Structure formats: C-alpha cells, structure tokens
Structure 1
C-alpha cells in the first residue's frame, strides 16, 4: 500500500475508528485498525465484536492495499504529525512519514482480523447534530454498572411520529422524541443499544443527515453519515413503558430558572457527604435548598420560582438532580411534584413534543 493523506484527514478518521477499539482486547488483532486504501480513499476501521466504527478519508492512493496495524498507536501518531502524511507498507510493516518524522509500525496478521459487520437496511434519516444531542441528554439516566445489562442501554423506538430515545437506571428516566424521516412510515420498531457505545458513535456524526438502520434479525443497528459508518450490537430485552409515569397529575408545578437552581444545588451539595440528599422546600415565590446536618455542616440557599399548587418539601440525590437540570438544556424549566415520595418530573418550560423530559425518584426524608 502507498498513499498520501493530509494529517487532519488521517487524525479525524483514526479518532472516530478508535471509538470501537476495546480497552482490553480479547485477542491481539482487535487492538488493530483495519486499513484499506483504494480509489483515492483510505478507510480506517475499528471493531470489538460489539461495535464497529469505520471512517473514510480522502487520500492519493498510488498502490491499493489492506493491512492491520496497532490502532491506538497510529491514532496517537496521526494526532501529532502535521502536513502531508506518506503511508507505505510491505509484507510486515507500515511506514508513516511527515516531514522529517518517520515511524515504522509492525503489522498484525490480516487473516485473523474478523469481518466487519454491515448495517441492515436504512429505517430512516435525521440530522446528525440532533441525534447526537438527544443521545447525550438521554444517556445521563442509563446505569453505569453491568449488574442488569438492560439498564445500561438507550432504547430507540421508531414510529411515523418520531424517534423516541429513553434510558433508566431505576432511579430516574430520561426521554426525548425527535423528528425523523422514516423509510417506511407504517413500520414501528425498537432496539436497545449500550448507552456508552451509542454516545461514542453518534457524537461525531454532526455534519449532515444520518441514516439509521434498526435490527432486522441481525441484532445490529447502523449509523451512516458522509465518511462515517458505525454499528452496534443490540442488547436483549427492552425497557418498561415510561409514558404512564410522565402522564401523572401533579399537585405542584414550579417554574424556575434552570441555571440558578443548578448553581444553588451545586453550592448546597458541598456539605452533602456520601451523596446524602438535598432538600427542596417549595413555597410561594421561591424554592429553599438545604443539605447537611446541624451537628456537622449545614448549607442553605434559595432561588426565586413561580409556584402553582401545594407547598411541599422533597429530597433528591444531588447528582441525579443536577444531571437532569443540565440534560434538559433549557434556560427555564418546570418541576412537577406529586408527593414527597413519588417521582418528580422535569421538563422544559415550553414542554414541546420534541423537548427532553426527565423523571426523578425522590429520597425519603427521615422524620
């Protein structure tokens, strides 16, 4: 293989493909990038059996070729070189040159590299930046540990009305529905994808429309944008229906400045040791925020708010509350309260059909 490529093109391609490199490769070959040079393009791919990421960059290819090289090392090298990068290989090594810098990397057995999965048929298209934002907003509610794998995923539910993303760790639920253009408006489908994988694959697909492929029996979803293709294997199972929780009537509705409330919670939470709760007392015209204990450290703050309904005291895990306040991405939000022991709903002030929503379980206050 012989090719010449701009350093920005190679660095960007390697950065995207590296999203699918396993942290602890089960076999040495999976630590490699699969490089394929042909027809004035260099394709860089990473794969860990669960997810794949493939990036295509413009290059001047004088000798087509395919090889496997250490992935993270090539990504580090590409990120530090400048100008045109010359790639050349023989049977056992890849040479990377730019200016006076020269690197020689040993190749890995190409025949041991697994075949990369191909996405199933496209289910619909949507703007890449909208998808990336929605995925990041919803992922905040996904579980981090693997005790219940189903809770580590983001569920995608596709209908003619939109694409709904949802995640929960049993203590909070995050949901957002975004508009899209389905290939077959009459078909409804869903898939549960590991949240971390979906975040990694979606975050760089922001330059235009993304084609979304949902499982058709293969158990694989696909995201395809110009020069980028990612796949992920779906999790078994599905999340419970979140709609009844958000449809509940609220005894108290609070409209408040999101940044002011988040700042107050962050300040007060400084004395909330070991994630002990912060207490919100909702009264006419304001929310009082309190944490700590009088015999240790105590913090109080308050923010102005428009309160409609019954005054109420309720407590939340401060980290979970802050996650929700920031995930909504709105200047003003509405906090809907039922009782001090039932889930509270966070929504944007506009409450549009395509706005994110966040449901949070309170912490029971001791008597």
Structure 2
C-alpha cells in the first residue's frame, strides 16, 4: 500500500493508545490484512479505535506491534509503495530501499475490541465537530471531579444537545440530527478530551453514525470506528440557569472585542479580572480595563447598549476569551444581569428565538483600578 495511507491509518488508530500502561500489549496496534483491505486497531481502558483502508493483500494475517514505534517508522519511510510482512516473529516494513524490523507482541494477550453500541442516528460530521469545539472550552480540568470534565450528549427527537460546565461557566450547543427511530432519546456524559479528539478525527463532511448503550458511546464514519467509555454521573441541567429575568444587553463586533480582550489582558496578572463598563447614548460604547496601580490597560469600543444607564461588570479574562473565541458569528450579544451575576453570550444581534449556541459566564466583583 502507499506510505501515506499506511501512515494516516496508523496515526488515527494510535490516538487512543495510553501514554503509559502496566499492560504492555495495550501499547500495541493490531494489524489485520485480508481480502484487499487492512484493519488497524488500538485500544486502552477508556477508548478504542479501528480504521479500514485498502491494501493489496498477498497473504492474510494478523500481527500486534508497538503502535507509537510503528508510527515513528511510517513518518520517515520514503514516499511511494511500502511492503509489510511477518516472518520469524518479526514484522518488517520496507519501501524504496529502506527496511525496518519490529518485534511482535503476543496476540493471545490482546483484549478483544469492544463492539459498536446500538446506532441511534446520524449527524453531519462538520456540524458535530464545530459543536463539540464550541462547548468543550467550558469543560472542567479537575480530575477529582470527573463528571465535570465531560460533555453531556442529549438526544431528543431531531435535536442533539451538547453541554459542558466547570461550575464557573456553562456552554450549550444544539444541532439537528437524524434519529434512527422517532422515540430516540439519551442523556450521557463523555470525556471532553476524548470527544474533541473523536470529532476532529472523523473528517469534515458526510454523516457520522452515533451509537450509545449503558456504558459507552460509539461513532462511525467512512471506514473509521471509535468507542469511548461513558463517565458516571450527570451534568446539571441548564434550563433554569439560562433563564435570565430582564437582562440588559449589548451587541458588539466579535473580532474587535476578541482583540481588545487579548490586548488589555496583558496586564491582568494573578487572575485579576477584566472590567467592562457599558455606557448608553447615540454612540454607545464599552470601556475595557485591567490591571492594578501602575500597570493598567484600557480600550474603548463601540457597543449597541440597550440600557438607560451605565453598567460595570467584570470577568475572568481567560474565561471571557474562551467564550468569545468559541463563536463564529461576526457579532455577539451579551445579556447582563449586573455585577457579580450571570451573563449570557450568544451569537448575532437578535435576542428573539432560541439560539443554538449559548455560553453562560459568572461575572465577578469589579476591581478598583
């Protein structure tokens, strides 16, 4: 087969291999050649991956080799066709005069790959990847609270809901999907890190099969199949939390706001907040400020402020940057309840209807600059 095809297949399957494992065979990739195709599979205790690619099969067979070492070899092989073979307990890869040999791992010790759970429906790969990227920025990083490191996947009729929170922010994204049955429902939590890797790897076009059972989630697309173990517990529901009573809103140019936050945050050391003061008038504006005493920064931007008086709120600058960067629309709408209260960011100018992408932030007490 071509070196590029082999390298891509090995790299895709090797994503799930553990960095360190007390079980040596879990560092291996299983190569299964037969009937004009090559299956490359890998797994650890949390996830599995399998990819099928075309290959000219001279003789059928299976072999288990160290996955990351094989990937290193594939990356340095000369371009063009490569030949893979097994002889005398050694796996060889050769192409254009270069030849590598690897010792093989015991096949009998390798666990069976978990089966794909029941397929619940189909979702567009590109939309799914974008939605996962939108919400994973809000997932927790504290492994002592494993449920909060996950993304909720909710299935209800023709709508898929993805949600993540670390208790200080909460991101929700809805997208259409095609359910296999009219009564397809689910509410599970998947590792945000694993889900982000899966979404990026499944490609940017075409339908992805979504499969779920009581213990795992599975995704299949274009000869690629991956499963991941579900996290225990449930994420809190966002419905009541997102119901802001009588907020005051501002509409801002997203790109200019992102650049201003990035610029002003340079002096926001030690987790100090970034302060935003919204002012009314025909030329409404927002003043961004950060820093203390001698080291301060500020920038004023135009803002369509719907309030009748000034309002000052403050945010963790890193959280605000994560939230703004997760949107793709040219403008964002910030709905504010006041200092130290909830703030909702959505895309676009209109506050009507149910937005598909919402990011809730807790504002903090404004600093004295």
**Shared fold by TM > 0.5?**
yes
In structure 1, what is the equivalent of residue 298 of structure 2? Answer: 300
Return the match for 1:150 from 143, 147, 151.
Answer: 147
> SS of 1:95's equivalent?
strand
**Kept in 2: contact 1:291–1:299 (CA 8 A):** yes
**Kept in 2: contact 1:19–1:201 (CA 8 A):** no
Change (3 A) 1:91 1:132: farther
CA distance in structure 2 between the aligned counterparts of 1:328 and 1:29, rounded to whole angstroms: 42
- Where do 1:166-315 residues align within 5 Å? 166-206=163-203, 207-215=205-213, 217=214, 219-284=215-280, 285-294=284-293, 296-309=294-307, 310-315=309-314
- Where do 1:1-367 residues align within 5 Å? 5-81=1-77, 82-206=79-203, 207-215=205-213, 217=214, 219-284=215-280, 285-294=284-293, 296-309=294-307, 310-349=309-348, 353=354, 355-366=356-367
CA distance in structure 2 between the aligned counterparts of 1:332 and 1:162, rounded to whole angstroms: 25
> SS of 1:239's equivalent?
coil
Q: TM-score, normalised by structure 1?
A: 0.95
> SS of 1:61's equivalent?
coil
Structure 1, residues 155-206: CA drift from partner, whole Å, max 9, x if none?
0000113100000000101110110000112131111000001111121212
CA distance in structure 1 between the aligned counterparts of 2:128 and 2:175, rounded to whole angstroms: 8
Query: Which runs of 5 or more residues in structure 2 are unaligned?
Result: none
The number of residues matched between the two structures is 360
Change (3 A) 1:84 1:266: same
**Kept in 2: contact 1:344–1:359 (CA 8 A):** yes
Q: Which shifted more, 79-88 or 252-261?
A: 79-88
Query: Which runs of 5 or more residues in structure 1 are unaligned?
Result: none
CA distance in structure 2 between the aligned counterparts of 1:156 and 1:57, rounded to whole angstroms: 30
**Kept in 1: contact 2:120–2:181 (CA 8 A):** yes
Change (3 A) 1:354 1:125: farther
Q: Which shifted more, 98-107 or 198-207?
A: 198-207
**Kept in 2: contact 1:53–1:230 (CA 8 A):** yes
> SS of 2:21's equivalent?
coil
CA shift at 1:67, angstroms? Answer: 1.2
CA shift at 1:237, angstroms? Answer: 0.6
C-alpha RMSD of matched pairs (Å): 1.4
**Kept in 1: contact 2:120–2:209 (CA 8 A):** yes
